[in-house]
A and B are shown apart, each in its own frame.
Chain A
Amino acid sequence: GQSLEQPSEVTAVEGAIVQINCTYQTSGFYGLSWYQQHDGGAPTFLSYNALDGLEETGRFSSFLSRSDSYGYLLLQELQMKDSASYFCAVRSSGNTPLVFGKGTRLSVIA
C-alpha cells in the first residue's frame, strides 16, 4: 500500500518563507507531485519531482530525497493568495493513479 504524511495546518506571515513537508511509504515510487487547492476550487498541479534534488518554479520550489522517502514544498515571498490547501501525491509506477496525502491548509496572515 501507499501512505503519505503531511502537517494538517501551517500558518505563516505574508512575505515570509514556509516549508510543507511530506513523508511517504510506497511499494514502488515514480515521483512526488504537489497540488494546490483554493477553497471552493479544483486542485491544480504545482510541481513534480522524479529525481532527488530541488525543482524551482518562480516562488515555489519542491525537493525530493528518495533515500529518506521525503519531500517538501517551499513557498517564498508569501502572498495572501497563497492561502490554500496543498497536497502531496505519489504513484508507484508511471501509469498508476496518484495517491494523495490528506493535505496541508496554509494560512497566510498579515
Chain B
Amino acid sequence: DVKVTQSSRYLVKRTGEKVFLECVQDMDHENMFWYRQDPGLGLRLIYFSYDVKMKEKGDIPEGYSVSREKKERFSLILESASTNQTSMYLCASRQQAGELFFGEGSRLTVL
C-alpha cells in the first residue's frame, strides 16, 4: 500500500522557534510537494521538488524553506515561526504527471 508519512500530526511551537516538518514517501516518486490548508482558502502550494536537491517556489513560499537530500524525504522548514503560519500542512508526492498521494497532515499551532 502506498504511503506518505508526515512525522508529526500535531505540533505547538512558540513565535520565533525553528520548525521542521518531515515527510517521507515509500513509492519512489520523483515529485514532492508541500501545501498548506486553511479554512476557506483551500490548498495553497508552498514549495515543490522534482528531484533530489531540486526545489521550486510555489505560490506562498515566504517564511518557508525546504530540503530534499534524499529522494524519499522532503522537509519543510520554518526558520522563525510566526502566528500567521498556524495551519494544516500537507505533504504530497506523485510520479511524473500522475495522481497526488497525500500524507495525513501536520497541524501546526504557533503561539
Among A2-56, those with CB < 8 Å from B are 8, 30, 33, 35, 41-45, 48
When distances are taken between beta carbons in the complex, the residues of chain B under 8 Å from A91 are 97
When distances are taken between beta carbons in the complex, the residues of chain A under 8 Å from B111 are none
Residue pair B45, A97 in contact (C-beta under 8 Å): yes
When distances are taken between beta carbons in the complex, the residues of chain A under 8 Å from B58 are 97
Stretch from A62-70, A73-81, A98-106 at the B interface: A98-106
Known contacts A87-B43, A97-B45, A99-B45; A42/B96 CB under 8 A: no
Known contacts A95-B31, A95-B96, A95-B97; A44/B42 CB under 8 A: no
Residue pair A95, B100 in contact (C-beta under 8 Å): no
Residue pair A43, B43 in contact (C-beta under 8 Å): yes
Known contacts A97-B58, A101-B42; A42/B104 CB under 8 A: yes
Shortest CB distance A45–B (Å): 4
Among B11-48, those with CB < 8 Å from A are 31, 33, 35, 40-45, 48
Interface residue tally of chain A, by bracket? Answer: 20 to 34
Shortest CB distance A28–B (Å): 13
Bound complex: CA of A96 vs CA of B4, how far in Å? 20
Q: A44-B102, A95-B96, A102-B40 are in contact. List 8 more A-B contacts (CB 8 A).
A: A42-B4, A42-B102, A43-B100, A87-B43, A95-B50, A97-B48, A98-B100, A101-B42
What is the interface of chain B, defined by CB distance below 8 A to chain A? 4, 31, 33, 35, 40-45, 48, 50, 58-59, 90, 92, 96-97, 99-105
A-B contact pairs, 5 of them (CB 8 A): A42-B102, A98-B100, A100-B35, A102-B40, A102-B41
